[in-house]
Structure 1
């Protein structure tokens, strides 16, 4: 089955202070953040992978840069957060599971090799980094069985940080869609996952990629750090 991949790229990314959408920020190797993501996707899943971009802010620039992708429009990109962008993408997806990522993450190609093994098992997962736990990042805890228990920025005693590359299996997708529809417009998609775990007993595995690089680009110093890897 063709792997379905969603990249969330609707936001304004104002903290980085660039005029173009953040995923089009150029890296030191000449690629944009999003091109690095496409290269990683093709490395792990081949060029047949179906990539859908959720667009909003200055969408014409992203469409021009990646004309062969599919697109979902979040017309409320300036009023909603990633929960509603992901909701639109999952509602537009074909049958089967969906791998998704934030459009501002620069990451090691091996991350998706690790993800591919989980996808082959049809196991929903969240990639995590246990090497640091920053207050401003999405953190997580696990249950006694080792599945994700809590997943938010306000988690106390977090075991690590969520990286922003996740997968929902075909069996779990309808549940996540229902919960994403329920959460607030300003909620991150992690809130939908957390509610699905709490209310629907969804089993989401943490996939530790602490030995690999993954940098979320919010500020200029993040971009400098990412450029050390590419």
Structure 2
């Protein structure tokens, strides 16, 4: 089955202070953040991977840069958060599991090699970094069995940070969609995952990529750090 991949790229990314959508920010190697993501996707899953980009802010620039992708429009990009962008993408997806990532993450290609093993098993997962636990990032805890239990920015005693690259299995997708429909417009998609875990007992594995690089680019200093790796 062809791997379904979603890139969430509807937001305005105002904190970085650029005129174009943040995923089109150029890296030191000449690629944009999103081009690096596409290269990583093709590295792990081949050119046949079906990539859907959720667009909103200045969408024409992203559509022009990646004409071979499919697009889903979040017309409320300035009023909603990633929960509603992911909801639109999952509702538009074909049967089967979906891998998705935030459109501002610069990451090691080997992250998706590791993810591919889980996707082959159709196991829902969240990639995590246990090397640091910052207050402003999405953090997680696990159950006694080792599955994700809590997943939010307000988690106390977090074991690490969520990286922003995740997968929902075919079996779990409908439940996640249902919770994404119910959460607040300003919630992150992690709230939908957390509710599906709490209420439907879905099993979401943490995939540790602490030995690989993954940088979410929110500010200029994040971009500087990402450029050290590419």
Q: Common fold, TM-score beyond 0.5? A: yes
- Distance (whole Å) between structure 2 residues aligned to residue 20 and residue 226 of structure 1: 18
Alignment gaps of 5+ in structure 2: none
Name 1:163's counterpart in structure 2: 163
Name 1:174's counterpart in structure 2: 174
SS in structure 1 at match of 2:35: helix
Alignment gaps of 5+ in structure 1: none
1:49-88 matched pairs, under 5 angstroms: 49-88=49-88
- Distance (whole Å) between structure 2 residues aligned to residue 51 and residue 194 of structure 1: 25
Q: Which contiguous aligned blocks of 4+ residues in structure 1 show a shift greater than 6 angstroms?
A: none
Deviations 1:92-118 (A, max 9, x none): 000000000000000000000000000
Shift of the alpha carbon at 1:6?
Answer: 0.1
Shift of the alpha carbon at 1:126?
Answer: 0.1
- Distance (whole Å) between structure 2 residues aligned to residue 171 and residue 142 of structure 1: 21
Deviations 1:63-117 (A, max 9, x none): 0000000000000000000000000000000000000000000000000000000
Name 2:226's counterpart in structure 1: 226
Name 1:120's counterpart in structure 2: 120
Deviations 1:124-166 (A, max 9, x none): 0000000000000000000000000000000000000000000
Normalised by the length of structure 1, the TM-score is 1.00
- Distance (whole Å) between structure 1 residues aligned to residue 163 and residue 228 of structure 2: 18
1:80-159 matched pairs, under 5 angstroms: 80-159=80-159
